[in-house]
Amino acid sequence: MINLFKVKEKQRATVENANGKAPVKKQSIGELRVHKYISELNLPETCSISFPSGKDDLMNFEVTVQPDEGFYLGGKFVFTFQVSPIYPHEAPKVKCKTKVYHPNIDLEGNVCLNILREDWKPVLNINTIIYGLFHVYRQPNYEDPLNHDAASVLRDNPKLFESNVRRAMVGGHVGQTFFPRCL
């Protein structure tokens, strides 16, 4: 049996190549959504977005968060976003590239943010995630930790937690773990 769709696709590609034009890649629904949301971003002044692979790759980008208050004041934290072609039906994969002493971010960069897990809904967007990351730095949550050591210190001794955060941000050791400077 002849697959008519493949025949039509080959014919279209042949015609486009004959015209000297490269075949046009059809964008997925996820790509269209991401393009729309990025064009409508309303970021806090302390956040920025960049596209290390160029503006043609909207599905992979970086967001920098620079908290303006709280324990992490003055720090610069970079997150990578990998958006699935089936977005918004699946949350983007978000990782923190900056090693940080934080109860909601582990040493491998995994982020504990409910909207990236069980509370993800297709009505949420990139802007919502960025504001969530911004909030994680303003108000770290010791009740839902990825870094249990940091969470217990925050819960039991906030002054020691603040000291550990400062030591980590200037480039130093907290316990046996070294943190590169992020100020």
CA distance 175 to 7: 63
Exactly one of 47, 96, 112, 182 is catalytic; which is it?
Answer: 112
DSSP conformational letter for 139: S
The residues pairing with 111 across neighbouring beta strands, listed in sequence order, are: 105
Contact 103, 168 (CB under 8 A): no
Contact 70, 138 (CB under 8 A): yes
Give catalytic status of residue 182 as yes or no: no
CA distance 121 to 125: 9
Residue 72: name the closest of 95, 51, 96, 91 by CA. Answer: 96
The Cα angle at residue 125 between residues 123 and 126, in degrees rounded to 5: 170
> Which residues are the active-site residues?
112
